[in-house]
Copies of this chain bind each other. A is one copy, B any other.
């Protein structure tokens, strides 16, 4: 990297969020068992409509109704992989954007093979931590489960390469998030370490990315805006929280109350 990526601009984030609330995208979430409720509540707090449909046939049917699709492999099984594949195929036939969250890809065989397959199916966006993005780009880098052992900036070249080879906008998240389409890269600061002490903040961000990816306009800007919406709400919640327990309601309230002023 020869220069520091530009930061996403507050006015752009505010405009993307406003568009998001106006469109209120219906996001089909095929996600892991642990984060379903929180993911749904995050989308609802932002004005979107979450829906979890998991049977293969129904999931394919639902692609005709949903504005965006999230595939999160956190608690993958062979049966769920089939249903996810059916949903992705239907979304692609209908030209609906889908987003991949490659949770803990790298060390575990089923999800690693499945994620490599999915990369051939034109994801619109990919959101992962540094270890996951490095593993997905097959540049080694192996996490300890869902935690990243790498700094996000260390994975930026891998993210840019992955964006170019897959055609997706890639968000590699960490203390600073980097969002890239291979040519352009935006940096998103903010958030707080308390966000890593609550399960599902990353997974919920991926669902929000799936919703922002469905908006008309520049996907790179929209997806960077999704990252900033979450990091901004995280900062505000941390300011009023005593710990990870009180963080959760404060975070959902912050998403609900987020306005242009807060984002600038």
Contact = CB atoms under 8 A, between A and B. Distances in A.
Sorting the interface of chain A by its residue count into under 10, 10 to 19, 20 to 34 or 35 or more gives 35 or more
Interface stretch (A34-42, A121-129, A163-171): A34-42
Contacts of A44: 196-199, 244
Copies in the assembly, this chain:
3
Contact of A34 (B37, B61, B76): B37
A6 interface: no
Contacts of A257: 242-243
A104 B51 CA distance: 10
A222 to B, nearest CB: 22
Contacts of A66: 145
B249 A253 contact: no
Interface stretch (A8-16, A52-60, A85-93, A211-219): A52-60
Interface of A: 26, 32-38, 40-41, 44-45, 49-55, 57-58, 61-62, 65-66, 74-78, 104, 107-111, 144-147, 196-200, 241-246, 248-257
